[in-house]
Chains A and B, each alone.
Chain A
C-alpha cells in the first residue's frame, strides 16, 4: 500500500477568467470512501471531472495508483463514473447498458452476461435486465448507473452527486446501500455532494471545498467536532461563532470559537470552571419534529441557536418560552477554537 489510489498535486482549472479549482493537493487511499463536500461552484465537481478525464487541468497532475494520467482520455483511465443525471443510454435495455463497458473491452459474451447479472444482483435489480431505462423509477435508474460502473471493476469509482434527484427517503436508503456496496466491493469511492449530512454519514474522510480550494480534510467526526476554518464551522452543520468582542464578553477569550447548537442546554447554573453560561432572551422557537431550535439574543450581544431534543416537552411548552428571558449553559470543552487561516 505504498501508492495512494489517487494523488492530486497542484491541481488547477480555469474556465476563461474564472478559476474553478485553485490549487488542490490531495491523497486518497486505496479502498477509501472519500467525499468532496462543498457548496455549488466550489470546484468539487470540476476536480471529479479532472480525475475522470472529462476536463484537462490548467496546471497540476492527476496520478492514479502511481501512474500519471493527467493527459489521458477517459477511456484510458481505470476509473468509472456515476453521473448526476445517470446518463443511461435510453435506446438500450438495462442489460445492454450494464454490459456496455464490457462489450467495448471485448469481453466474451458468456462472461459479460454473468458479470452483468452479478452487478445487477449487487444493486438488487435482478430480473430488470430486459427493461428500458425509461420504464424505471429514479432510484432504479440510479442503481443501474451504479451497476454499469461497478461491472467494469474499476480501481476508483467516481460519483457526482448521484442522489441529487432522489427524494429524501429514497436518498437515505441509497446512502446506507451504497456504503454497504462499497464495503462489499472494496474499491475506492470518491463521492461529490453538497449535502453535509450525506458526506458525514457515509465517508471515511471528507474534504470540504470552498472557492476552488480545500478548507479541511478529515474524518467526519473531526470535521464536525473540530472545524478547521470558520467556513467549515458554518457549512458543516450549524455553528454559533464567537469572535472578537463577543468572544471576549461571553467566553472571556480572544480568537474565533464555535459552539454547536446541540451542545447548548437551556437553564443551568451560573458560570463555573467547567461550564460557561450566558443570559439572554428567546426571540424565536422553531419546532422541528424530533427537536426544537431556540434562537436567543444573548445580553452580551450575539445571537445564538440552541437545540433541544423533544424528550419530554410538548410543542405548547416550548412555544411558551418565546420572548422570555433565559439562561444558556454549555461545557467549556465544547467551545472549539477555530483557526482563522486554513490548516
Chain B
C-alpha cells in the first residue's frame, strides 16, 4: 500500500470535520445570495430613500420618504402602476388559455416522438434574442404589415400600443407557462382520466373536476413567471407600445434621461412589492414546489 497523498489526507480530514465541509460547500451560493442578490436589493431600498439635488444633479444621501410621497400622491404613477398590473394580468390569462390546451396535447395526446418535437419547438424560441423577437413583432404590427393584412387591410390591426404590448409579451412569455403546465400534466396519471370517463365523466367534466384542480399549482408556477416578467418589462413596450408607459419605462427614463437614480429605485420597489405580495398569496397553494 502506498502512502496516502496530500489529497487523500485532506479528504479524510474533511470527512472528520463536517462543519468545515459544509462551510466549503455552501460559501459560494451563500455569497451569491447575500452579496449579489440580497445586497443589491438592499442598496436599491436604501438608495430609494435618497434624493438628487435638482441644480447640480448630485446625490443627496439623506434618508427621506420624498420619493415615495411623490409616487403615492401623483396620479400618473398610480395610473401607470395599475396599467402595468393590468398588462401583467392580461398576459398571464392569455398565456394560461393558450398553454392549457397546448400542454394537454403535448402531455396526453401526442406520440412520444411528437412530444419531443413539440418540447423542442417551444424551447427553441427561448434561445433567440429577445430583441430580435420584439422587432419581428414590430414589423408584423407595422401599419400595413402582416397583422393589419390579417384583419383585412392597412390600419385595421391593433397597431402599436397597449394591445400590441400585451400581444407581444404573451408571445414572449408563453413558453414559461407551457413548460410547468406540461410538467404537471405529465405527472397526472392517465388512469385518473380513464377513471373519470369510466365513471361517466365526459371531456369537459373530466377537465373541470380532475385535470384542472390537479394542475392548479403548475398554472400558478407558470403565472409567477409570466406575471413578474411582464411587470418588469420595459423593452417590448418601447418597441411596440407606442406611447404606452409601464413601470419599467418610468424606471428606465429616470435612470437615463432624468438622471434620477433614487427615484428609479423608489419606482422599482413597486414591482418588487407586488411580487412579494403575490408570492405570499400563492405560497399555500403548493405552487412554489413546482418551480
Binding site for B on A (CB under 8 A): 52-54, 73-75, 79-81, 83-85, 87-91, 100-101, 104-105, 148-149, 152
Contact = CB atoms under 8 A, between A and B. Distances in A.
Interface stretch (B19-27, B197-205, B240-248): B197-205
Interface in B192-218: 192, 194-202, 205, 209-210, 213-214
28 contacts: A52-B194, A52-B198, A53-B197, A73-B202, A74-B197, A74-B198, A75-B197, A75-B199, A75-B201, A81-B194, A81-B198, A83-B191, A83-B194, A85-B189, A87-B189, A87-B191, A87-B194, A88-B195, A89-B196, A89-B210, A91-B213, A91-B214, A100-B201, A101-B200, A104-B200, A105-B200, A149-B199, A152-B200
Contacts of A81: 194-195, 198
B199 A101 contact: yes
Contacts of B199: 75, 80, 100-101, 104, 148-149, 152
Contacts of B214: 90-91
B150 to A, nearest CB: 37
A52 B63 CA distance: 72
Most buried by B among A53, A54, A75, A90: A75
A101 B197 CA distance: 9
Interface residues of B, number: 17
Contacts of A88: 195
B165 to A, nearest CB: 36
B204 to A, nearest CB: 11
B189 to A, nearest CB: 7
B191 A85 contact: yes
Nearest to B195: A87
Nearest to A78: B200
A87 B199 CA distance: 12
B214 to A, nearest CB: 6
A91 B194 CA distance: 16
A52 B209 CA distance: 21
A33 to B, nearest CB: 20
Contacts of B192: 87, 89
A54 B199 CA distance: 12
A186 B210 CA distance: 31
Contacts of B198: 52-54, 74-75, 79-81, 149
